[in-house]
Chain A
Amino acid sequence: GENVEQHPSTLSVQEGDSAVIKCTYSDSASNYFPWYKQELGKGPQLIIDIRSNVGEKKDQRIAVTLNKTAKHFSLHITETQPEDSAVYFCAARPSGTYKYIFGTGTRLKVLA
């Protein structure tokens, strides 16, 4: 069935450095890819998303890139801050469904 692989599972960076999280999806018909941030004790919150007709999208310090040929998409966080510490999930929505397939999550720690 459809699946989304996410790497790494944990990531530690120094404050001010960049962080990159990578995902690979299996269903080539997937056409919508949101990213969620989950802080301790809260539900996941959407931070950025990208549609299959776009290769890159940026929102301040956060950017997402999509390579449809390779079925890869990545989250880039620049100038990381301690408040960026959280668990991040990628997701893909297979075509023809309203269901989302989530990656396994990345625990990001930004060291002050």
Chain B
Amino acid sequence: EADIYQTPRYLVIGTGKKITLECSQTMGHDKMYWYQQDPGMELHLIHYSYGVNSTEKGDLSSESTVSRIRTEHFPLTLESARPSHTSQYLCASSDRGPRDSPLHFGNGTRLTVT
């Protein structure tokens, strides 16, 4: 199993709170990604990073922000959570090797905003 960790696993917070979802990997992967998974199962890319100090927005517009100060760490922050942010958030990473290096996923954070 891949060594990529997400915390917390579950989070219930009130509207307007600032939250940070943590993601860390110990594999030295240079590429990291955040996906949002809706109840219908679809995976939507919201942020990605090709290395330290590199971050890009994904295909799905998101009010969250990310940072990549260290190779192993890729946290996602919501400045002011809203009920529409309720979802499952999945972090992934892939190797610096060949372009066809697969994604390794964490087990996700299930966020509920009340």
Contact = CB atoms under 8 A, between A and B. Distances in A.
B4 to A, nearest CB: 8
Contacts, number: 58
Interface of B: 1, 31, 33, 40-43, 45, 48, 50, 58-59, 90, 92, 94, 99-100, 102-108
Given A32-B99, A87-B41, A93-B99, A98 B94 contact: yes
B45 A99 contact: yes
Given A31-B100, A98-B94, A43 B45 contact: no
Interface of A: 1, 31-32, 34, 36, 38, 41-46, 49, 51, 87, 89, 91, 93, 98-100, 102, 104-105, 107
Among all A-B residue pairs, the 3 with the closest Cβ atoms: A43-B105, A105-B41, A32-B100
B42 A105 contact: yes
Contact of A44 (B1, B40, B45, B90): B90
B34 to A, nearest CB: 12
Contact of B107 (A1, A34, A42, A104): A42
